[in-house]
Amino acid sequence: MFHKEGYFIIVFTFLFCAGLALGAEYFVKSKGLTLLLQSASLIILILVLQFFRNPKRNTVLNDQHILSPVDGKVVIIEKVYEKEYFKDERLQVSIFMSPINVHVTRYPMSGTVKFSKYHPGKYLVAWHPKSSELNERTTIVVENETFGPILYRQIAGALARRIVNYAKVGDTAVQGTDAGFIKFGSRVDLFLPVDTKVDVALDQVVRGGETIITQKN
């Protein structure tokens, strides 16, 4: 199953790779070069297919849980000053996605979308400390009765050149469902109440829509 954001790129890549493989077969005289070009076209197609995959996740809806919005590795857990929406101290949990991760963004909890804003910006590497403030990004706030308002931010990286965000103010967010997509390498930051006890650790690998970031006791 592939994400809808990848349909055009997948079709284009398939046609390009098929043309390259057939062209090599009929117009390149060197068998070694033909094999190299055909192998390269197959590798390119496989990489694009794996990037846009959208596997089904077994999300268990639970208002007492905040789930990871994306697949990746936890790279930051620290108190910071969040100056765009809350304008106070929050606990930031950042998840870095490499190009081989699933890049679907999922709602970390159910609730109502209270804020959604796109910011143009730079393309620093996603693990850069200033990428959360300087890179192209979107900021989304979802609120429910259990946790109150929770902010997550999609951040473009050095390779990511397009952030897709489906969240609109007033929408009903359903935990674990598709909230957007980031193309080709990126990061997502979660901003939680400062006293939150998280259930993940630095360098832990997490799965979007399944791994519990924090839970109410």
Catalytic residue among 94, 131, 132, 186, which? 186
For 54-73, b/e burial (b = at least 16 CB within 10 A) is beebebeebeebbbbbbbbb
Query: Who's near 206: CB < 8 A, 6+ residues apart?
Result: 68, 70, 71, 72, 73, 74, 95, 200, 213
Q: Answer yes or no: 68 catalytic.
A: no
φ, ψ dihedrals at 80, nearest 5°? -140, 165
Show the tokens assigned to 97: 């996605």
Say if residues 191 and 82 touch (Cβ distance below 8 Å).
yes
Which DSSP helix (H) or strand (E) runs through 49? helix 31-51
Count of Cβ atoms closer than 10 Å to residue 23 Cβ: 14
Paired tokens of 6 = 């990848």
Give catalytic residue positions.
186
